[in-house]
Amino acid sequence: MSLKVNLRLLEKESIELDGDILGSELAPDFLDELMRLSHPVEYELTVERQSDSLLVTGSLRSHVDCECSRCLKSFVLPVRVDEFSTLAPLEGEEALPVDGDFADLTPVVREDILLALPTNPLCGPDCRGLKPKGQPRELQVREQAEPNTAWSALDNLKL
Ligand SMILES: [Zn+2]
């Protein structure tokens, strides 16, 4: 459950961590109209100490509840990050949160899983979007604004 590593133990050897963390715990501030991190994120990590940083390698696996950005259908998207490798500093502005002897790897996992999410989720590569009901809205709007242009365009098509 915990994504914390003991820095003292890391001085002697690398540490392997595996488990899962709730999406809501991993990224409580994540807000997206089309995606929800409602499933646990499974992680398998190896952590090595490298002077002032931790080298974190491993893989992540989860599912994300999505709404298709074209047709608005709900679907579950599997998300995998294979063999990522991140050098996380222990000092400076970007430093990992450290509490006593423990460093918290949550930011590393969060960043890698968020990077793996699509910008515009699609239910499938061939999604054609919403089926038009009657006239597409775009055309209706254009007709109201420029009736002559729209009709002459249609006339040209018929020729
Ligand atoms: Zn779709």
CA 154 / ligand 1 centre spacing (Å): 29
Q: The pTM is what?
A: 0.76
CA 46 / ligand 1 centre spacing (Å): 37
63-96: buried (b, 16+ CB within 10 Å) or exposed (e) per residue? Answer: bbbbbbbeeeeeeebebebeebebebebeeeeeb
Separation of alpha carbons 25 and 62, rounded Å:
14
What is the reported pLDDT for 93? 92
What is the reported pLDDT for 156? 63
What is the reported pLDDT for 153? 62
CA 67 / ligand 1 centre spacing (Å): 8
User: 5 versus 139: which is more confidently predicted?
Assistant: 5
Tell me the residues surrounding ligand 1 (ion) with CB < 5 Å.
68, 70-71, 73, 123, 127
Provide the pLDDT confidence category of residue 2 given band limits of 50, 70 and 90: confident
Separation of alpha carbons 90 and 106, rounded Å:
13
Query: Are the CB atoms for 88 and 80 separated by under 8 Å?
Result: no
pLDDT in tens, 64-100: 999 999 999 999 999 999 999 999 999 999 999 999 9
CA 27 / ligand 1 centre spacing (Å): 26
Provide the pLDDT confidence category of residue 9 given band limits of 50, 70 and 90: very high
